[in-house]
Amino acid sequence: MTKTYSFPTQADLDQVKLNWRRYLLPAIHPEGVKILLWEVGIFLCIDLLIQLMNVVFNICIPSFWWIGVPVWIFSFYFFRNPTRVTPTDKNLIIAPADGIVSNIKPVVPPAELDLGDKPMTRISIFMSVFSVHVNRAPVTGTVHRLKYRPGKFVSVADKDSEDNERQEISMIAENGQKIGVIQIAGLVARRIFCPLKEGENLKAGQVFGMIRFGSRLDVYLPEGVYPKVLLGQVAVAGETVLADMTDIKTNKKGE
């Protein structure tokens, strides 16, 4: 069957803002806004205390802002939530995280996610402290299962890290296929944010959570679906195509 292509309208083109704000002043995740406000309050208190000490003890301690401002700018950069344009094909599985594709291997998914007991291809994406840490839905569909597991905080760059703290998520895509997504806390990460509920509907590319300060996301592909990314490739959340579920039909026919 030949696919048709709908060319963008002028209204669509008007929504694409190719200006400096899109790159230098991206939106901030709501969790980040809270922390940024807390930092400003803490920095103000510290600086006022320093000024008070200077007056009372007649000393000259430099202002705290020469440290506070760079820290605040890094926090702003860390919690950024940049604009992403997600492919609309319902058969595509999109990267849920920014980072390096650090591992691709067959792994039996966690039993709690109801994905079966056979090995599924697992794609791991490692996020450094410099990556965008906002996580996005890999497909349009429904949240099927959720399971939070407390655990350790060790490096997740190139290990299976089965003992790490994690949030396990399974989704049922529009085409009926089940997808597994796991947020894994790393050596520095100390909090996984995932406010999802079972039965909740998500659109591909929609923000659903984040992990603070270095971590990893695993994606379990349906049986018969093969990755379209390579080890070492840089993935962009909400845009990079990890796999195409139409491959299932091709594999069943033995083509």
Burial of 176 (0-12, 13-18, 19+ CB in 10 A): exposed
Q: Where are the beta strands (DSSP E) in the chain?
A: 27-28, 80-81, 92-94, 99-107, 120-127, 134-136, 141-149, 166-173, 178-185, 192-193, 201-202, 207-211, 215-220, 234-235, 241-244
Give the whole-angstrom CA distance, residue 140 versus residue 175.
Answer: 9
State the helix-helix crossing angle for 65-78 and 30-57, rounded to 10 degrees.
180
**102 and 158 Cβ atoms separated by less than 8 Å:** yes
Give the whole-angstrom CA distance, residue 179 versus residue 215.
Answer: 20
How many distinct helices (H) and strands (E) make up the chain? 5, 15
Rg, Å, the chain Cα set: 22
- Cβ neighbors of 36 (< 8 A, separation 6 or more) are 28, 72, 75, 76, 79
215 is catalytic: yes
**254 and 148 Cβ atoms separated by less than 8 Å:** no
The residues with which 209 forms a beta bridge, in sequence order, are 135
- Please give the positions annotated as active site: 215
